[in-house]
Structure 1
Amino acid sequence: MSETLVDLGTVNVPSGVLVLGMAGGIDQWRDLGQPLSERARTAATNGGGHLREWLCEAVAVPAAADRPLRVRASTSPSPFDGEPTIATLEISLGLLWPETTDRSVPVWLGDLPVDRCGMVVGDAAVLDAWTGMDDEPADGLADVFYWGLYAADAHAQFGGERIAQYCLDGPHGWLDLPVAEAAARAAELTAWRDRLHGKGLMVSVDKHTDFHRFRRAGWHHPLHVGAIDVSGCQVLGIEWDQGDHSIRHRGERDAGQVYPVTLEADEAGEMVMRWTIPPHDFNDEDE
């Protein structure tokens, strides 16, 4: 564990079971049989393990319920743009390594793909309430974005602010509108485009679901990490750069792009969960 780790934030785990899971499917576990919390509790009771159903995957482990748990990462340069990307994700679990277990040997828990929708770290029971892409927002609000060939013309007609994302100017649009107003503005933009151009303008309405909130919270973080409150607990979301994902992680599990998750002991003898994503091997491009 000699690499340099940077702090990403903390999570709260009052149920005593922590989950690292694929963000695109967190809300779908409840539709596939047992809720995520029940599956995760069973895995944690056995020391931790990998969960998989259909396209949903996660790893669950026991964790301290009485304190915030630190999440850190090491980085490596992306082959897409050279920017730092997560190479190792390390989550402190707040529990002592068992005295009867050799601390020099990592415990294999399974492996996970990098979900192009992002990853979530949080309490298993809290994540049962996670709202996904198609759910309704608890605050009744949404964001509207538009971009494309005719964005300047649309801005002259409708206005809207430049919304900075990931150190870029980002699209035009409006934040924090009531859902009905957001839908009406999107409809106006779409009707204007269809009437004058037919194409050349993309319009989206992102309701304030937990899925959208974590992505928005990471707009200004160099590693696209955002912390949000879900049912009174802090949850961390990690979004991957889409260009980097397409080069390193495309195909995900179907293409064998999966990375090991282990339990290990830190220098103080406490348990940490580590997800290790090997740096891109530029030599492979010459073969």
Structure 2
Amino acid sequence: MPETFVDLGTVNAPSGVLVLGMAGWIDYWRELGQPLSERARTAASSGGAHLREWLCEAVAVPAAADRSLKVRASTSLSPFDEEPTIATLEISLGLPWPGAADRSVPVRLGDLPVDRCGMVIGDAVGLDTWTGMDGDPADGLADVFYWGLYADDAHAQFGGERIARYGADGPQGWLDLPLTEAAARAAELTAWCDRLHGKGLMVSIDKHTDFHRFRRAGWHHPLRAGAIEVGGCRVLGIEWDQGDHSMRHRGQRDASQVYPVTLEANEAGEMVMRWTIPPHDFDDEDE
């Protein structure tokens, strides 16, 4: 049976080099020596390759610099909740398949684990500016969330709104606060809980880093995919359900939970990059 794909959105790669990488480690490439863009440019010049240093991993390929590049996915059911999760990720590269190459044979570029923090697809140069979870937000804003045993009591005292995420009610809190106001609000909630209860209320501040923005962009997408602008480029992020990740991808490379990335030709004779994650075999559970 042929795969059925759904559109996740588009990205662009004005540098001519596209990267599929682990979201939790994008900002660490520059800490390890060469920026991601330099490594990716070298990999793309040979037709594409897998990049790995320390815990950072990515695949870089050449891509058309003058157009939007479509990202699609096929799905399979998760063993965690039997909801659809990504089985094949396909990124159109906007370039013709090399005339002398056999288009019937996929070109293997390497493999990637599913990062617990999600995956990012974007321009190599644009991603050099990526701000990770500990970075500073360019807009100076943050979101504050609270939840737990005394969340209703806290709401009666401080207010806030219910933040829907992933098709369900999420925590309560406030979006798009100036950083100083967000810090003061979180401190007030924490002090109130410590004074009256001692524990039973969790409070978090999520600064508007690129890491948080891509996750927030996918809050209302069934496959947790969302697009943001990074370094002047349109970047697509995909967050993984933590239950699904724990059951299928936990341990990542150390546990040999890695999946092949290939270059292939589509029906129009153009190159696509494909990352293939085998569906869970529910029949094995019955044996």
CA distance in 2: counterparts of 1:79 and 1:101, whole angstroms: 38
Q: How does 1:104-115 map to 2 (within 5 A)?
A: 104-115=104-115
TM-score by length of 1: 0.98
CA distance in 2: counterparts of 1:47 and 1:88, whole angstroms: 21
Is residue 24 from structure 1 mapped to residue 59 from structure 2 by the alignment?
Answer: no
Deviation at 1:195, TM superposition (A): 1.4
Q: List runs of 5+ in structure 1 lacking aligned partners.
A: none
Deviation at 1:275, TM superposition (A): 0.1
The Cα RMSD (Å) is 0.9
Name the structure 2 match of 1:86: 86
Residue aligned with 2:235, SS:
strand
Q: Which amino acid aligns with 2:68?
A: P
Deviation at 1:286, TM superposition (A): 4.0
Deviation at 1:200, TM superposition (A): 1.1
Identity of aligned residues (%): 85
Q: How does 1:32-181 map to 2 (within 5 A)?
A: 32-181=32-181
Residue aligned with 1:115, SS:
coil
CA distance in 2: counterparts of 1:162 and 1:29, whole angstroms: 36
Q: Which amino acid aligns with 1:255?
A: A
Residue aligned with 1:261, SS:
strand
Residue aligned with 1:173, SS:
strand
Name the structure 2 match of 1:203: 203
Deviation at 1:192, TM superposition (A): 1.1
Q: Which amino acid aligns with 1:47?
A: G
1:234-287 Cα shifts (integer Å, max 9, x gaps)? 100000011111111111111110000000000011000000000011233345
Name the structure 2 match of 1:7: 7
Q: Which amino acid aligns with 1:220?
A: H
Q: Which amino acid aligns with 1:18?
A: L
Name the structure 1 match of 2:275: 275
Deviation at 1:213, TM superposition (A): 0.4
1:31-79 Cα shifts (integer Å, max 9, x gaps)? 0010000000000001100001111100000000000000000000111
Q: List runs of 5+ in structure 2 lacking aligned partners.
A: none
Residue aligned with 2:168, SS:
coil
Structure 1: 4+ residue segments shifted above 4 A? none
